Amino acid sequence: MHRMTTVVLITAATLIAMSAGARAQDDDAGAGGGSGSGDATGAGSGDATGTGTGGEATGGETMAPAAGAWSTAILDRPLVLDKEKLEVHGSLPILAIRTPAIPPATGTETTTAIDLDIGASYGVADKLEAGLDYLFALKDFEIKGAFLLHGAYAALHNDKMDLALAAALSLSVQSGNQVNLYLGAWFRYKVMPKLDVHTGLPGLPYGALNTGSQFRVGLNNGNNSDLQLPVGVGLQATPNLYAFADTNIANIGISPSGSSAIFADFILLTLGAFYSPNGQLDVGATFQDDLKNAGDAYIISFAARYYVK
């Protein structure tokens, strides 16, 4: 197989291993010295998105929601849940990976993995949320998967900028019981009222494969650790529609050492869009591929989030 970003490789290995059910998880941080932080099971980013009355459009601009309300527009919501606010979310990641056929067969073979992630987050205090996710295989069904305990603290929130400090702890209940710690920062800056640049999770639904973390360290796999540098741009095209494009600048392997960089080693691109009919429900989809080796491994994910209160 051609070399591709470790984000896609580790995601592929994770999903296929979960679908197989009986395989042990790979403790390596990734191929080619790359990294794979950013999700609950050693996978990368990939990428996928709060309640109250929705903002209304007047003259093409989104009106600010009333005090205490949750905007329909994702770009106008804080990154962290308000106190006592509860949301449930889920995603269906579908991964396809193409490999050379096993001789004497010729050509290529495509392996598909389908997983289900379900979870919830709750505003436990002002500026602080906590949540739990569980990821398991649907195709070649295997209920043994991975738990993800996560939390985030809103360090900054104003009309232009949002900054949240996030952490997550994952535990696989498959063979090996791999445990990983994820740390990161979710930062979003409004370049214009409807346009943002961001890193981490810019208000999109949380997920075991979409934690928005930049740093990962294995706690029982030889302390494998790595750092990635994701960046993205988001557009609130209408009060109900948020679209985004993300990439990764570099993967830096700390232990074991090694690194890979955009353009030289990979061109990872994640495209997605979420529709919010109101301030309670978000539904959307994302597509991720390494354009340097397009079609070798790609992920299509469908996600939804509902604010219970």
Residue 271: other Cβ atoms inside 10 A: 14
Q: Which residues of 187-210 are buried (b: 16+ CB within 10 A; e: fewer)?
A: bbebeeebebebbbbbbbbbbbbb
All structural domains of the chain: 6-53+70-307 (2.40.160.40)
Q: Read off the pLDDT of residues 248-276 as tens digits, 9 standing for 90 and up.
A: 999 998 888 888 888 888 899 999 999 99
The secondary element (H helix, E strand) that includes residue 15 is helix 6-20
- What does R_g of the chain's alpha carbons equal in angstroms? 19
How far apart, in whole angstroms, are the C-alpha atoms of residue 153 and residue 98?
A: 40
Which tokens go with 89? 């979310």
Which tokens go with 228? 């990635």
Task: Give me the pLDDT at residue 70, please.
Answer: 83
Task: Give me the pLDDT at residue 69, please.
Answer: 62
Q: For the whole prediction, is pTM greater than 0.85?
A: no
| Coil/strand/helix, residue 230 | strand
Task: Give me the pLDDT at residue 116, please.
Answer: 96
Question: What single letter denotes the amino acid at residue 229?
Answer: L
Closest CA to 70 of 59, 84, 58, 81: 81
Task: Give me the pLDDT at residue 106, please.
Answer: 77
| Coil/strand/helix, residue 68 | coil
How far apart, in whole angstroms, are the C-alpha atoms of residue 93 and residue 40?
A: 13
| Coil/strand/helix, residue 11 | helix
Contact between residue 168 and residue 200 where contact means Cβ atoms under 8 Å apart: no
Tens digits of pLDDT across the chain (309 residues)? 433 434 444 444 444 444 444 333 333 333 333 333 344 433 333 333 333 333 333 444 444 444 446 899 999 999 999 999 999 999 999 999 988 877 777 788 889 999 999 999 999 999 999 999 999 999 988 999 999 999 999 999 999 999 999 999 999 987 678 899 999 999 999 999 999 999 999 999 988 878 888 999 988 877 789 999 999 999 999 999 999 999 999 999 888 888 888 888 889 999 999 999 999 999 999 999 999 989 899 999 999 999 998
